[in-house]
Structure 1
Amino acid sequence: MKRIVFLSVFLGVVLVTFGQTERPVLDITLANYDYPYDVHYFEFNSQQQDVKMAYMDIHPEHPAGKTVVLLHGKNFNGAYWKTTIQALLKEGYRVVVPDQVGFGKSSKPAGYQFTFQQLAQNTKAVLDDLNIDKIFLLGHSMGGMLATRFALMYPETVEKLILENPIGLEDWKLVAPYMSIDENYRKELEVTYETTKKYQLGFYYDNQWKPAYDEWVYLLTGWTKHPDYPRVAMNNAQTADMIFTQPVLYEFPDIRVPTLLIIGTRDRTAIGKDRVKDESVRESMGQYQILGKEAQKKIPGSQLVELDNVGHLPHIEAFDRFIKPFIHFLNTNE
């Protein structure tokens, strides 16, 4: 196993139209897209494959001696944590931001069996390589499911756990029909900027779009015109299956680390919701103003901060309201 440093550069590539502006077609490891900080790679063998896991490791000017790890959601990568990283650096925290295998700048392996246990193990291997044995762990969306699994597997490593609008607060497979990996793959091949923006507009932002949100749509769809995109599409299909079939909410009572839930109550994200025919059941899914309270009751001693009129991405949509309770929780010796 070894670690290498990569400074992303902007390469000359074919331009296509994304939204209202022309942007370059992205390759499937985002080599032609700059992250906000230097990107490093951890190389290792997993499931009989040599893979690379990209991550940012940012040190503060005045260290406080603590490390925060930020875990991205399924439709994102480490780049969207920029403002959160900046705020944590001001508080003296070292910040480590991995791209999970199958996402962002990390490898897109064929035939990989995606499980939350495997991704947690991969993340732990990065931390071990960096000689980091204690962390504060924040997971957003799918990253919240992964952060939960990580805290269950490595409670001695996680000093505090923060879940920002995690998905998996309900078990969708109890009410939504199963979609096979093959079906998901065909669906991923049809993804466009327009369809992705429409999904995020409705589920994430309550039909209130800001120009800054275009960047996250571009990062998710900028590689659809690349000849290697089918590899990304398959990884997306595999991780969608992982999310649907591997719920973590049943183990919430087993969490033994101090936990904070930050919940944007306008969020309506629910996997498989579009496949539910019963309207009353469909409308009951993804009700985060209810799900957040239920999760707090299940996680021993957990705290809940609800952000009214905020959707799936508090750290993007309402950063000031998100960062204040987050930093307070980190700095409090409770």
Structure 2
Amino acid sequence: MLVIAVLLVVAAVWVWWTYPRVGNLLFALIATVEARRARLKEVLVSIQRMTLATYQGGPVSSPPLLLIHGFSADKGVWFGFARHFTADYRVVIPDLAGHGKNRFEHGADYSIAAQAQRLIELLDACRIDAVHVVGSSMGGYVATWLAAHHPERVVSLALIGPVGVLLPQPNEVEELVNQGDNPFLIHSRAQFDRFFSMTMASAPWIPEVLLAAEAQAYIERRDALAEIFSDFSGSPRLEPWLKDVQVPTLLLWGREDRMAPIASAQTWTHGIAHARLECMDGVGHLPMVEQTAQTVARYREFLNAQA
């Protein structure tokens, strides 16, 4: 009986210890499959002071398309979206510094201006003069900074639930941060589940083993994410520069977005007077994940209008 009890305890410990690691292996396998489906290859690009991990695909001679993920995410968030563009665009999807496969370095400067400068260096390294840019959440902050401060490098701008302006009223995330309970800085699985529920209104089904792995990754990255969040959230707000965005601009928003409330859209449309605002019902902060086909269709229509 004692032997059985010991074996059960050992089995329980083994499952607890390996479960997130199994999820990590599955994540890696899924990423490989999805990258192949999207006709993307992993490419390491050396820029000043660091190397950026990227996915790249599509004909080199085609119009370039730069996809920028949000805070705490990585380039894999664009798989489903990107595979609809690699046939006729040169698609470049970087992990921002401190994210994804890029090593976090304490004190490396993760402000919006610094992240934007790294992307300019990435474009230079890839010999890309000007690019269509799509940014999600914090990626929209970086994308807008590029369009305002480096207008010669941006052909068009698409912003998906962007952050970077003062909110007309505190939203759920801001209120939690002000209370000292930043939902991105996770200590437990319960906190991860709360955070995950805030990201999407209609999330695709994700196996429990993958959620466990992702929760563990957030817990392990907590200190790094805290520094990155401090740098990016302390960056200057965009209001003074929105008028400098002169390229065609699409604002795409989920009506159920809990991270970047749709109420802030009025600040963007006031600052970028020519911007085209489109809202998606029943969608949260990540339309390209929640409703990929609809997001692709709306962005395609935007691109075609420029032809």
What is the TM-score normalised by the length of structure 2? 0.79
SS in 2 for 1:301: coil
Whole-angstrom distance in 2 between the partners of 1:236 and 1:173: 25
Q: For residues 100 and 25 of structure 1, do their structure 2 counterparts lie closer, same or farther at Cα, with a shift above 3 Å needed?
A: same
Q: For residues 218 and 166 of structure 1, do their structure 2 counterparts lie closer, same or farther at Cα, with a shift above 3 Å needed?
A: farther
Q: Deviations over 1:78-113 (max 9, x none)?
A: 0111111111124x0110000011000112112212
Q: Give the letter aligned to residue 123 of structure 2.
A: L
Q: For residues 212 and 59 of structure 1, do their structure 2 counterparts lie closer, same or farther at Cα, with a shift above 3 Å needed?
A: same
Q: For residues 103 and 324 of structure 1, do their structure 2 counterparts lie closer, same or farther at Cα, with a shift above 3 Å needed?
A: same
SS in 1 for 2:232: helix
SS in 2 for 1:139: strand
SS in 2 for 1:88: coil
Correspondence for 1:198 among 194, 201, 212: 194
Matched, 1:327 2:288: no
Q: Give the letter aligned to residue 311 of structure 1.
A: G
Q: Give the letter aligned to residue 42 of structure 1.
A: V
Residue 256 of structure 1 contacts residue 300 of structure 1 at CA under 8 Å; is this kept in 2? Answer: no
Whole-angstrom distance in 1 between the partners of 2:212 and 2:130: 34
Correspondence for 1:243 among 207, 229, 232: 232
Matched, 1:74 2:71: yes
SS in 1 for 2:259: coil
Match of 2:56 in 1: 57
Match of 1:275 in 2: none
Matched, 1:98 2:94: yes
Correspondence for 1:262 among 232, 252, 260: 252
Residue 46 of structure 2 contacts residue 52 of structure 2 at CA under 8 Å; is this kept in 1? Answer: yes
Match of 2:41 in 1: 38
SS in 1 for 2:206: helix
Which protein has the bigger helix share?
A: 2
Matched, 1:123 2:114: no
Choose 1 or 2 for highest CA Rg.
Answer: 2
State the Cα distance separating 1:32 from its structure 2 match: 8.6
State the Cα distance separating 1:297 from its structure 2 match: 2.3
RMSD of equivalent CA atoms:
3.4
Q: Deviations over 1:208-247 (max 9, x none)?
A: 554238798567434357xxx4xx4333112211332222
Residue 137 of structure 1 contacts residue 161 of structure 1 at CA under 8 Å; is this kept in 2? Answer: yes
Residue 46 of structure 2 contacts residue 125 of structure 2 at CA under 8 Å; is this kept in 1? Answer: no
Q: Deviations over 1:102-133 (max 9, x none)?
A: 00011211221221111111111111011100
**Worse-matched range after superposition: 246-255 or 130-139:** 246-255
Residue 141 of structure 1 contacts residue 165 of structure 1 at CA under 8 Å; is this kept in 2? Answer: yes
Q: For residues 305 and 64 of structure 1, do their structure 2 counterparts lie closer, same or farther at Cα, with a shift above 3 Å needed?
A: farther
Q: Give the letter aligned to residue 104 of structure 1.
A: G
SS in 1 for 2:45: strand
Whole-angstrom distance in 2 between the partners of 1:149 and 1:58: 25
Matched, 1:16 2:18: yes
Correspondence for 1:223 among 196, 217, 229: 217
SS in 2 for 1:223: helix
Correspondence for 2:275 among 288, 291, 302: 302
Match of 1:3 in 2: none
Q: For residues 169 and 67 of structure 1, do their structure 2 counterparts lie closer, same or farther at Cα, with a shift above 3 Å needed?
A: same
Whole-angstrom distance in 1 between the partners of 2:266 and 2:187: 34
What is the TM-score normalised by the length of structure 1? 0.73
Whole-angstrom distance in 1 between the partners of 2:115 and 2:151: 16
* Structure 2: gaps of 5 or more residues: 1-15
Matched, 1:86 2:83: yes
State the Cα distance separating 1:259 from its structure 2 match: 0.6
* Structure 1: gaps of 5 or more residues: 1-13, 271-285
Whole-angstrom distance in 2 between the partners of 1:215 and 1:293: 40
Q: For residues 299 and 166 of structure 1, do their structure 2 counterparts lie closer, same or farther at Cα, with a shift above 3 Å needed?
A: same
Residue 147 of structure 1 contacts residue 161 of structure 1 at CA under 8 Å; is this kept in 2? Answer: yes
Whole-angstrom distance in 2 between the partners of 1:233 and 1:302: 36
Q: Give the letter aligned to residue 320 of structure 1.
A: A
Q: Deviations over 1:20-74 (max 9, x none)?
A: x942489xxx98984523211123443xxxx2211111124xx772010000011
Q: Deviations over 1:228-271 (max 9, x none)?
A: x4xx433311221133222223421221211110111111215x
Whole-angstrom distance in 2 between the partners of 1:215 and 1:65: 39
